[in-house]
Structure 1
């Protein structure tokens, strides 16, 4: 069975690559994946699968015509907060697949935000036409319930991603703390300066090695490079593109300070204490569901001392998820795999 996988793949985003890696890990043996990618050559080399340029209409159309199933492969792709065009691209592909008679699946979706009535209508129509639907959070499940669309709710699949080795990690001094910040309009130069000063004070107080982990080089690397020269102690920027190696980082750290949604999932899954800086409702929902402390990016304290003391307190006394909690989340994340098997049998 030829199965087209569609998501924000091949665009250098560690979270979306982790979703793809997990989807490939969970696909039934009878499925041959064809990935729509922003970088087909890289995707083919990394995962040893067929890939097609996601923006080349004729090859994509031909691929759909030659396939049996189409899967939206995880994440918040039907939302109009970061791009007004994005939901029409993904919704258009799903509509084409449905018109061609393919089995279609919206897999591990986080729906919204949907500000426009048009994108909201398009989202409802495409989800209603799917053979199977799974979502990763209560908000998305509630929306589908209101639309009377059958669905499965389970934790984000990346909970179940197999962590790999991270080259050089164990050569760095311990204890280690990972920091994953991303560019955002609310992360102003003043707020970033306060976070950097707080990180300097935190490192002096804890004598930790700070690992700056850009999840998307185009958005995160400049921030990591701005912070690094100011750190007084051991530190490293980790350039990692393989999602399994990225998750493996968190096996070797004591605490993660994260904006990136999947950095918090990876860290929590590997037993790290987590502190969140939220820029999106999906991070808010994760914080609420897992009781992760943190701030909204627009509500970061103005005083670096308050920030550093909060981090020091959490480093000293905060609790990671228990092994039983982690195992429960991993087990339930595999429910996405069971739905894949049902749809693709």
Structure 2
């Protein structure tokens, strides 16, 4: 059985790469994947899979015609908050696959926000025509329930992603704290300066080794490079493209301060204390579900001392998830794997 996998793959985003790695890990062994990628050579070399350039229409059409299954997943593909084009691209491919008679699976989706009537109509139509649907958050589940589309709800598949050890990590002095920031309009120059001042004070008080971890080079690396020279203690920028290594980073740190959704999932899954900075409802929802401390980015304290004190308190006294809680989340995340097996064996 041949399956075309479609997502925001090959674009240098660690979270989306983690979703692809999780999907490949969960695919039944009898399924032969072909991944639509923004960087086909890199995706082929990293995952040892067949690939196709996601922007070349004729090869994509040929791949669909030669396949049995189309898998949309995972993550926030169907939303029009950041782009009106993105949901039309993904929705258009799903509609095309359905017209060609392929089994279509919407896998580990985070749906919305959908602010435009056209994208909302297209989403409702394509989800309703899917062979199977799984979502990773309650807001997406509520939307599908309103549309009367059958689905399963399970934690993000990255909870169950296999981590890999990071070469050289254990040579860095302990204790270690990981920081994952991304550029965002609400992370203003003033807020970044206050954050950096707070991080300086935190490191001075704890003598921790600060690991700055860009999840997407184009959005995150410049921030890490701006912060690192100002830190008084030992620090390092860890730019890792393999998502299994990204998850492996959090096996060796005491606490994570993060904006990126999947950095917080990876950290929590590896038993790390987490402190969140939310720029998106998906991060706020994770904070609520896990009772994770943090702030919305728009309400970041103006006083760096308040920030550093909150981090110090969590570093000293905060809780991480228990092994039982982590195992429960991993087991439930594997429902996305069960859905693939059931849908592909029909």
Output the CA distance in 1 between the equivalents of 2:49 and 2:264: 28
Aligned counterpart, 1:81: 81
Matched residue SS, 1:90: helix
Number of residues paired by the alignment?
345
Aligned counterpart, 1:137: 137
Output the CA distance in 2 between the equivalents of 1:235 and 1:275: 19
Deviations 1:185-235 (A, max 9, x none): 000000000000000000001110000000000000000000000000010
Matched residue SS, 1:28: coil
Output the CA distance in 2 between the equivalents of 1:10 and 1:121: 28
Q: Does 1:28 align with 2:28?
A: yes
Aligned counterpart, 1:146: 146
Aligned counterpart, 1:211: 211
Output the CA distance in 2 between the equivalents of 1:192 and 1:128: 43
Aligned counterpart, 1:329: 329
Output the CA distance in 1 between the equivalents of 2:281 and 2:164: 29
Output the CA distance in 2 between the equivalents of 1:79 and 1:208: 39
Deviations 1:55-104 (A, max 9, x none): 00000000000000000121000001111110000000000000000000
Aligned counterpart, 2:8: 8
1:107-256 equivalences under 5 Å are: 107-256=107-256
Aligned counterpart, 1:263: 263
Deviations 1:105-125 (A, max 9, x none): 000001111111211111111
Matched residue SS, 2:33: strand
TM score, norm. by length of structure 1 = 1.00
Long gaps (5+) in structure 1: none
1:93-104 equivalences under 5 Å are: 93-104=93-104
Aligned counterpart, 1:303: 303
Output the CA distance in 2 between the equivalents of 1:80 and 1:199: 34
TM score, norm. by length of structure 2 = 0.99
Shift in Å, 1:5: 0.2
Matched residue SS, 2:186: coil
Matched residue SS, 1:9: coil
Aligned counterpart, 2:70: 70
Output the CA distance in 1 between the equivalents of 2:260 and 2:133: 25
Shift in Å, 1:172: 0.4
Aligned counterpart, 2:316: 316
Output the CA distance in 2 between the equivalents of 1:52 and 1:168: 34
Output the CA distance in 1 between the equivalents of 2:117 and 2:175: 49
Matched residue SS, 1:256: strand
Output the CA distance in 2 between the equivalents of 1:113 and 1:319: 32
Output the CA distance in 2 between the equivalents of 1:138 and 1:40: 33
Output the CA distance in 2 between the equivalents of 1:82 and 1:314: 33
Shift in Å, 1:268: 0.2
Output the CA distance in 2 between the equivalents of 1:254 and 1:265: 15
Output the CA distance in 1 between the equivalents of 2:183 and 2:66: 40
Output the CA distance in 2 between the equivalents of 1:84 and 1:318: 41
Matched residue SS, 1:321: coil
Output the CA distance in 2 between the equivalents of 1:116 and 1:186: 23
Long gaps (5+) in structure 2: none
Considering only aligned residues, what root-mean-square deviation do their CA atoms show, in Å?
A: 0.5
Shift in Å, 1:313: 0.5
Output the CA distance in 2 between the equivalents of 1:286 and 1:322: 16
Runs of 4+ in 1 over 4 A off after TM superposition: none
Matched residue SS, 1:339: helix
Shift in Å, 1:167: 1.3
Shift in Å, 1:343: 1.1
Deviations 1:148-172 (A, max 9, x none): 0000000000000000011111010
Shift in Å, 1:332: 0.3
Aligned counterpart, 1:18: 18
Matched residue SS, 1:233: coil
